[in-house]
């Protein structure tokens, strides 16, 4: 591994750094974006049971807010549940925007790594070819070892840059898709809560569907 880095020249070090940062971001986001952590199953039903039984108080709302991203969104609506549907929905949307931003944390950096890694490899290629032409200019084409060294540096950095960029781009797209999926799931759960609290959904079961909640 060290020989591979050494053969590619000093530009291999920023490429290696990009690789380490990308792996850390991917691992952290896979852990953080688990569906059960973002949208705990049965949470809306549990909240509705608190509302029906009159047990919903400040302590329950605080616990809900700190428990999960969905809980934070639902808590914002419950605080304003007595102020009408529009106010409740507006407060949910406001907090939801912050939650969505948190879900996408570090993904822009992953996208940047996917973009700059091949450029670093290309820069290494250019510098390697400059060495090749400098050697040809000074020594002619008889020094095969010097020529091979410059060409090798160019090829190593290109391969390393692409090896980092390809998986980084793949996981960037994949994790963006996961965030979008989770956002849609949270929107659906929030609409269920609004409807049961404001009386536009069958209150016997917050998981029941009607014509007002298809969107």
pLDDT band at 197 (very low <50, low <70, confident <90, very high): confident
DSSP 137: H
Q: Which two tokens stand for residue 17?
A: 């750094």
Burial of 46 (0-12, 13-18, 19+ CB in 10 A): middle
Is pTM, for the whole model, over 0.75? yes
Confidence check: pLDDT of 169 > 50: yes
Which of the given ranges, 143-152, 154-163, 195-204, has the highest pLDDT on average? 154-163
* Average of per-residue pLDDT across 130-156: 67
Which of the given ranges, 49-58, 68-77, 201-210, has the highest pLDDT on average? 68-77
Confidence check: pLDDT of 204 > 60: no
Q: Which two tokens stand for residue 59?
A: 């302590």
Average pLDDT of the chain is: 83
DSSP strands (E only) in the chain: none
Look at residue 145 in the predicted model and tell me its pLDDT.
Answer: 61
């Amino acid at each position: 591994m060290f020989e591979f880095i050494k053969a590619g020249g000093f530009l291999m070090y920023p490429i290696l750094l990009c690789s380490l940062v990308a792996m850390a971001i991917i691992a952290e986001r896979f852990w953080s974006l688990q569906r059960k952590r973002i949208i705990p199953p049965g949470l809306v039903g549990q909240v509705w049971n608190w509302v029906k039984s009159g047990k919903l108080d400040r302590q329950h709302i605080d616990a809900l807010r700190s428990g999960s991203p969905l809980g934070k969104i639902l808590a914002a609506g419950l605080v304003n549940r007595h102020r009408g549907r529009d106010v409740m929905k507006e407060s949910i949307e406001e907090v939801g925007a912050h939650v969505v931003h948190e879900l996408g944390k570090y993904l822009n950096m992953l996208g940047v790594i996917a973009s700059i890694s091949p450029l670093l490899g290309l820069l290494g290629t250019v510098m390697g070819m400059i060495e090749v032409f400098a050697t040809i200019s000074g020594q002619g084409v008889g020094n095969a070892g010097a020529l091979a060294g410059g060409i090798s540096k160019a090829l190593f950095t290109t391969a390393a840059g692409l090896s980092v960029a390809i998986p980084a781009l793949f996981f960037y797209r994949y994790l963006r898709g996961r965030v979008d999926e989770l956002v849609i799931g949270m929107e659906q759960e929030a609409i269920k809560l609004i409807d049961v609290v404001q009386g536009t959904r069958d209150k016997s079961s917050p998981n029941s569907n009607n014509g007002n909640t298809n969107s």
